[in-house]
Amino acid sequence: MTEDLIDHLLGLPPDHPVVALRHRRPEARRHAEGAFRELLLPADPGGLSHAERAALALLVAEREGDADLAAQYRAMGPAAADTPRMAALLDYAAKVALAPETTVQADIDALAALGLTPRDIVAATQLIAFVPYQVRMLAGLRALAREKAA
């Protein structure tokens, strides 16, 4: 089977036991990759451009402290535009990623006031919430790989 994003970022040889282990849950592997593609590179991005999506993912990967994942997202888009809209989206991303318990109705309303549709708001939130999934999978799999090497 071909390399997916997680394999690519782990950088392990194809015959490594952790790479093989991931294939024992092939549907999890496939749908995590599918979610990544739907969130970062959807065929119809609606009101949230590919560049905006890459900028949001980059911010979350940086704030979560995963340098390899951040480099991936940095390479997927230009630097975040210096606009009030992008600033509001990045503020939202930081809050959802790092302190989701502190979000309130007004955070959602502020995005709607910027012209984001319900679909755009859900897509942005799904994207921002998916990067923490990737961060924890990568961290856990790296620990497993280091355990195998010990």
Partner 1 sequence: MSARFTLKPVGWRPRLPPVKAESATPEQLAALDACPPAVRRSTYFLTLAHDPGSLGERGALFNIVMYAEGGLDRADRELATAVVSMVNGCVYCTAVHAKRFVELSGDEPAMQRMLEEGWAAEPDPRRKAIADFTEALTRSPGAVTPAHLAPLRAAGLDDLEMLDLLHGIAMFANANRLMLTLGDPLLPRVM
Q: Which of 56, 89, 90, 127: binder of partner 1 (CB under 8 A)?
A: 127
> Closest by alpha carbon to 70, among 60, 78, 79, 80?
60
For the CA atoms of 24, 37, 71, 56, the dihedral, rounded to the nearest 10 degrees, stands at -130
The binder of partner 1 chosen from 54, 59, 89, 121 (CB under 8 A)? 121
Asked if 105 interacts with partner 1 (CB under 8 A), we say: yes
Q: How many CB atoms lie within 10 A of CB 24?
A: 8
Question: CB of 147: closest distance to partner 1 in angstroms?
Answer: 4
Among 39, 54, 57, 90, binds partner 1 (CB under 8 A): 39
Q: Which residue has the tokens 């995005």?
A: 111
* 139 is an interface residue for partner 1 by CB under 8 A: yes
Contact 130, 36 (CB under 8 A): yes
CB of 82 to partner 1, least distance (A): 25
State the DSSP code for 77: S
Considering only residues 2, 27, 82, 84, which one is a binding residue for partner 1 as defined by CB under 8 A? 27
DSSP string computed for 79-103: SPP-SHHHHHHHHHHHHHHH-GGG-
Q: Which residues bind partner 1 (CB under 8 A)?
A: 17, 21-22, 24-25, 27-28, 31-32, 34-35, 37-39, 42, 44, 46, 64-66, 96-97, 100-101, 103, 105, 107-108, 117-119, 121-123, 125-130, 132-144, 146-147, 150
